[in-house]
Amino acid sequence: MIIISKRFDILYKRGVILGITIKDIAKLAGVSTSTVSLVLSKKGYVSETTQTKVQKVIDEYNYRPLRAARQLASHLTGYIGFIISHVHLSRSEAFYTRILLGSELEARNYDASIILSTVGLDFSIPNEVPRFLKEKAVDGIIIAGSVREDLIQYIYQEGIPVVLIDFRINDLHLDNVFIDNRSGVRQAVEHLIQKNVERIGFVGGSFYHPSIQERFEGYQLAMEKGGLGDIARDKAFHFLENSETTAEIGEKGMAQVLTNVPDLEAVICVNDTTAMGCLQHLRKKKLHVPSDLAVIGFDDVNIAAVAHPPLTTIHVPKIEMGVTAIRLLIDRIAHPSQVHQTRLVPVELVIRESSLKNQNGQ
Amino acid sequence: MIIISKRFDILYKRGVILGITIKDIAKLAGVSTSTVSLVLSKKGYVSETTQTKVQKVIDEYNYRPLRAARQLASHLTGYIGFIISHVHLSRSEAFYTRILLGSELEARNYDASIILSTVGLDFSIPNEVPRFLKEKAVDGIIIAGSVREDLIQYIYQEGIPVVLIDFRINDLHLDNVFIDNRSGVRQAVEHLIQKNVERIGFVGGSFYHPSIQERFEGYQLAMEKGGLGDIARDKAFHFLENSETTAEIGEKGMAQVLTNVPDLEAVICVNDTTAMGCLQHLRKKKLHVPSDLAVIGFDDVNIAAVAHPPLTTIHVPKIEMGVTAIRLLIDRIAHPSQVHQTRLVPVELVIRESSLKNQNGQ
DNA sequence: CTGAAAGCGCTTACAG
DNA sequence: CTGAAAGCGCTTACAG
């Protein structure tokens, strides 16, 4: 609790802030508090006339039940914990941030609020897990992106309803919201093949994150399917460094693949950020995109559309992912023991200039 | 409240989730609940021996008081509402996001949690204000960046403790955390003048946001002080469009000022995002930065350091702003009627390549 | 320094 | 359909 002065405390108690209660409403409407409560929760069992009579008083006094009291009596908090790593929250692509936005918006539709908790890598379990976990202050939890596995293990063992977004840990069956990474990359590969572009490389990053891994696998699968299995299996065409996917990794990767394969025609990047690095490297090398080389990203974050040239990429519906996670979580809270569910959010190729090879790509 | 099935409800009540209470601890330690509560709140008045005895049981059972019960009894929630516009949360510069991160981290030091609420422009007051405002679910509120003025008016009238970050509304005396914009721009101007750069332009944006306005004023003041008043007052050197500060605005602004003043030597941008637009335009025009023209941004967001060339800018300590806001708010909650306070966070010029004119700038 | 007891503002069986 | 009453799990004067 916040440490407050005695003085404030007294003010508080004197009613400076304490407001109208359910008792007041009951008295004013000439009914019992139970009835008011029933009207409030819209659980039915109240006659039309009583209902309107009570509602009128509620509206008149703009009454809203005190959440804390409601929580205590009902054993439900109306709060959803949203856990995200410092790294993800701070990243500049507004990827996870938009997922958070989606969750926040959708939570309201269930009369719930989001309690945010960021986590780093350096906390101890169970002593320093997010506070709400130990105070039963949330009904369920959403985890966006990668966090330490033992945190998820802890939550799992505590039996708190949880949904993971764009992350998984093996052997643990939890509700998940995934990106359809394989489909996304397949669309990209097919788009290129259709233009008779075949010498297609891949620049990627950390395999710690499942999405990253799936994107590379998707590339290999789609290439194989398109009759380009040799390239799909030729390491000269691939750059995979097990680290955060930054623009620097993109630059480095582009440089390396280009050295290996001077007549490379296109590169698919694990995400838009690395694609920006590729563009950067190509600019330095005075190579023109897309006429010399096509570049395709993944995610469709803000920078993609304003890059030079505008980046062809796979659009990931970030807000919808946040929305979906809330719905899954609500469902899980209502049915704690049902079998775990997975939602695969669809993605779509957005064709901009960076891939318009052999087409006088504007 | 979240709508849940009867079945879940029953599980809940059966103790699947209900845990150990203060009563249990009291019994186990052989003291009264009051004593346990006193130990928990560390309010003193408990003998050393009782304290350790009780603490031992608390630790052994890993007991944590239920927040809702505590809230109801103490009239304090331990929650802080954080209000931010959809636009700010979604922006790609991780500016407000880092402020949020700072607040989240600092809140923990006061045993408080952050409840997030995003707002758009299209809500009605008082019916659609953030839920926590009407349910007395927070002890105080932080507003980061610009939001609708009538929302702030509403909060003010409700008497809820509030701190504004990087925003103000005239005539309303609230606690504020401001960026020292004038000092920042002054440092930039002095840096340029010191290199004998004098024909310095300014590219800016929306005057709706006070920081934006202050940065232009700071430019004029510093120019005046440096003996360049003529330029400070010459509209040909300035581009000020009343819209969101995007990279596009930067491109457009750079183009216009350069048309007006072909022998321009430097441009100071209202923020890094517009500076990126300027760089973009100069690249298109085949002008070299910094040898042809120096460019300086403001904010020091992620992209600044990795821009080409790396951008000289004013570093704004974003995390600290979030931290400061929490401290101000805690203080305000403790002393509701004290005179309002303003914290000016210091900023610092970070010299990178984009301003190293006349120096063989790498 | 410690305990018994009231009370915070709701919800929810239960009885009618 | 409606009301009286118990109870949720804490905190906090108050008395000793």
CA atoms within 13 A on the CB side of A8: 21
DSSP H helices, chain B, are 6-11, 22-29, 33-41, 48-61, 67-74, 86-90, 96-108, 131-134, 149-158, 181-194, 210-225, 229-233, 247-260, 272-284, 302-306, 318-334
Kindly state whether residue A72 falls inside one of the protein's structural domains: no
Are residues A322 and A270 located together in one domain of the fold?
Answer: no
Interval A60-81 mean pLDDT: 89
Number of H helices, E strands in chain B: 16, 12
Are residues A34 and A104 located together in one domain of the fold?
Answer: no
> A351 falls in which pLDDT band (50, 70, 90)?
very high
- Tell me the β-bridge partners of A348: A315
Kindly state whether residue B74 falls inside one of the protein's structural domains: no
Interval B325-344 mean pLDDT: 91
Interval A162-188 mean pLDDT: 94
With CA atoms as reference, the chain B residue closest to A159 would be B17
Average pLDDT across chain A, whole number: 88
Give A25 or B361, the one with higher predicted confidence: A25
Distance CA B297, CA B300 (A): 7
- Predicted local confidence at residue B170, as pLDDT: 82
With CA atoms as reference, the chain A residue closest to B338 would be A8
> A8 falls in which pLDDT band (50, 70, 90)?
very low
Average pLDDT across chain B, whole number: 88
Domain ranges, residue A268: 181-316+349-355
Are residues A245 and A294 located together in one domain of the fold?
Answer: yes
Which nt is closest to the CA of B34, judged by C1'? C3
Burial of B334 (0-12, 13-18, 19+ CB in 10 A): middle
Are residues A331 and A281 located together in one domain of the fold?
Answer: no
Q: Quick check: B360 pLDDT over 70? A: no
Give A357 or A29, the one with higher predicted confidence: A29
φ/ψ of A173, rounded to 5, equals -90, 100
Residues 6+ apart with CB under 8 A from B295: B266, B267, B269, B275, B278, B279, B282, B289, B311, B312, B354, B355
> Hey, what's the torsion of the CAs at B327, B328, B334, B337, to 10 degrees?
180
Distance CA A111, CA A214 (A): 36
> A11 falls in which pLDDT band (50, 70, 90)?
very low
- In strand C, the nucleotides that come within 7 Å of a protein beta carbon are 1-13
Interval A166-177 mean pLDDT: 90
Question: How far from each other are the two terminal CA atoms of chain B, in whole angstroms?
Answer: 60
Strand C interface, B 11-40, C-beta < 7 A: 13, 30-35, 38
Instruction: Give the CATH number for residue B307.
Output: 3.40.50.2300
Q: Quick check: B242 pLDDT over 90? A: no
Are B116 and A111 within 8 A, CB to CB?
no
Give A2 or B105, the one with higher predicted confidence: B105
Are residues A309 and A201 located together in one domain of the fold?
Answer: yes
Distance CA A32, CA A93 (A): 53
Rg for chain A, CA atoms, rounded:
26
| B75-116 pLDDT tens trace | 888 999 999 999 888 877 789 999 999 999 999 888 899 999
| A284-323 pLDDT tens trace | 899 999 999 999 999 999 878 878 888 999 999 999 999 9
Are residues A201 and A296 located together in one domain of the fold?
Answer: yes
Instruction: Give the CATH number for residue A48.
Output: 1.10.260.40
Kindly state whether residue A328 falls inside one of the protein's structural domains: yes
Q: Quick check: A107 pLDDT over 60? A: yes
Are residues A36 and A134 located together in one domain of the fold?
Answer: no
| B249-272 pLDDT tens trace | 999 999 999 999 999 999 999 999
Q: Quick check: B157 pLDDT over 70? A: yes
- Predicted local confidence at residue B125, as pLDDT: 76
> A51 falls in which pLDDT band (50, 70, 90)?
confident
- Predicted local confidence at residue A44, as pLDDT: 65
| B122-150 pLDDT tens trace | 877 777 788 888 788 899 999 999 999 99
Contacts of A132 in chain B (CB under 8 A): 67, 113
- Predicted local confidence at residue B44, as pLDDT: 65
| A238-276 pLDDT tens trace | 999 888 888 889 999 999 999 999 999 999 999 999 999
> B12 falls in which pLDDT band (50, 70, 90)?
very low
- Predicted local confidence at residue B345, as pLDDT: 96
Rg for chain B, CA atoms, rounded:
26
- Does residue A256 approach strand C to less than 7 Å at its CB? no
- Predicted local confidence at residue B359, as pLDDT: 60
With CA atoms as reference, the chain B residue closest to A21 would be B135
Are residues A50 and A127 located together in one domain of the fold?
Answer: no
Are residues A185 and A310 located together in one domain of the fold?
Answer: yes
Q: Quick check: B45 pLDDT over 80? A: no
- Predicted local confidence at residue B10, as pLDDT: 38
Q: Quick check: B221 pLDDT over 60? A: yes
Structure tokens of B166? 């990087």
Kindly state whether residue A112 falls inside one of the protein's structural domains: yes
- Does residue B356 approach strand C to less than 7 Å at its CB? no
Interval B214-226 mean pLDDT: 96
Structure tokens of A81? 């914990």
Pick the range with the lowest mean pLDDT from A40-44, A185-189, B147-151, B164-168. Answer: A40-44
Are B115 and A114 within 8 A, CB to CB?
yes
Strand C interface, A 68-87, C-beta < 7 A: 69-70, 72-74
Distance CA A163, CA A183 (A): 22
- Predicted local confidence at residue B256, as pLDDT: 96
Kindly state whether residue A74 falls inside one of the protein's structural domains: no
Percentage above 70 pLDDT, chain B? 93
> B18 falls in which pLDDT band (50, 70, 90)?
low
Kindly state whether residue A94 falls inside one of the protein's structural domains: yes
Contacts of B72 in chain A (CB under 8 A): 66, 68-69, 72
For residues A75 and B18, the answer to whether their CB atoms sit within 8 Å is: yes
- Tell me the β-bridge partners of B268: B202, B296
Q: Quick check: A207 pLDDT over 80? A: no
Contacts of A137 in chain B (CB under 8 A): 67-68, 113
Kindly state whether residue A361 falls inside one of the protein's structural domains: no
Last residue of a domain, one of A37, A66, A95: A66
Q: Quick check: B215 pLDDT over 60? A: yes
Q: Tell me, in Å, how far CA of A26 is from C1' of D13?
A: 29
Are residues B195 and B306 located together in one domain of the fold?
Answer: yes
Q: Closest to B280 (Cβ–Cβ): which among A71, A308, A334?
A: A308
Q: Quick check: A152 pLDDT over 70? A: yes
Which nt is closest to the CA of A13, judged by C1'? C8
Domain count, chain A: 3
Are residues A191 and A300 located together in one domain of the fold?
Answer: yes
Are residues A233 and A303 located together in one domain of the fold?
Answer: yes
| B53-80 pLDDT tens trace | 888 888 888 888 888 898 889 888 899 9
Q: Quick check: A326 pLDDT over 90? A: yes
Are B75 and A134 within 8 A, CB to CB?
no
- Predicted local confidence at residue B307, as pLDDT: 80
Interval B3-14 mean pLDDT: 38
Kindly state whether residue A73 falls inside one of the protein's structural domains: no
- Minimal C-alpha gap between A306 and chain B (Å): 8
- Minimal C-alpha gap between A83 and chain B (Å): 12
For residues A135 and A83, the answer to whether their CB atoms sit within 8 Å is: no
Strand C interface, B 73-132, C-beta < 7 A: 73, 75
